[in-house]
Amino acid sequence: MPPTDSGLSSSSDDTLELQLPPDFGALGGDRQSASPDGPAAGPLLDNLAGWGAADTPAGPFALVPVRPDRDLDRITGWMNDPAVAAFWELAGPPETTAAHLRSQLDGDGRSVPCLGVLAGVPMSYWEIYRADLDPLARHYPARPQDTGLHLLLGAGYRGRGLGGTLLRATADLVLDHRPPCTRVVAEPDVRNTASVAAFLSAGFRYADELELPVKRAALMVRDRAHRHLL
C-alpha cells in the first residue's frame, strides 16, 4: 500500500493542460507495446495491459500502464497539485515521482501504475494492486485475489461527477478480467469526503474504518455478487 490516498478532490481549478502527446499512439497499439514480461502483463493482475477499454457515458476509458519516459512529467505535475499533494504526499521534483513509480515497475506485478485515458486523453492516474498481497491486508479481513484501487484525477476533470463514473468502469474492468476476484476494495482517507462520495456513487459500500500507519481510512468495497444491483 503506497503512502497515498485515492485523491479525488472537489476542487475544480483547471491548472493542467492535458493533451495527448505525439508519441502516445492509439490505445490498442500502446498496450501492445508494453514489455511482454513486465508487471502489467503478469499473472498477478491477469495481464492488465491487455484489458482493453470500457464504455462510459463520457467516452471509452482505458487503463494504460505507465511508461516513465513518456509519462513522468505529467504525473509529477499532478502530484504537485496542492489538492492532490494533500492526500498523496508525493509533491516534489520528478525524482520523487520516479521513485514511487519505480517501486512498482521493478516489482513482481502486484501493483501496476496506469494512466487513465478517457476518449483518447490521459486525464487520471491509477494504481491497480493486489490488496491481499499488500500491507493493507494486515488491517482488514482480506480475501484471496482482493484487488485494490488508488486514483487521482487531473485538475480539469474534478467536480464533474467523473470520479464515480470512472471508478465504476474500472471496478467493472477488474471484475470482468479477473474471474477469481470476488471484490474490489479501496481505502481513501476518511477526510477526503469527495473521494468517499465518488466510491459510494460507483456502487462501493462503506464497509469499515481502518487505522492505517499514515491515515484513518474508509474501507470501500464493491462486491462481485452485487455489481449489477448497485
pLDDT single digits (tens) 160-211: 899 999 999 999 999 999 999 999 999 999 999 999 999 999 999 999 999 9
pLDDT band at residue 230, thresholds of 50, 70 and 90?
confident
Task: Tell me the C-alpha distance between 219 and 204, whole Å.
Answer: 9
pLDDT band at residue 220, thresholds of 50, 70 and 90?
very high
8 A C-beta contact, residue 126 and residue 116: yes
Beta bridge partners of 211: 216
The residue-averaged pLDDT of 142-164 equals 95
What is the enclosing helix (H) or strand (E) of 71? Answer: helix 68-79
Model confidence pLDDT, tens digit, residues 28-39: 344 433 444 578
Give the chain's mean pLDDT. 87
Task: Tell me the C-alpha distance between 206 and 223, whole Å.
Answer: 12
Count helices and strands in the chain by DSSP H and E runs: 6, 8
Indicate the pTM of the whole model. Answer: 0.86
Longest dimension (CA), the chain: 45
> Cβ of 160: how many Cβ atoms within 10 Å?
11
Which of 17-31, 43-57, 60-74 comes out lowest in average pLDDT? 17-31
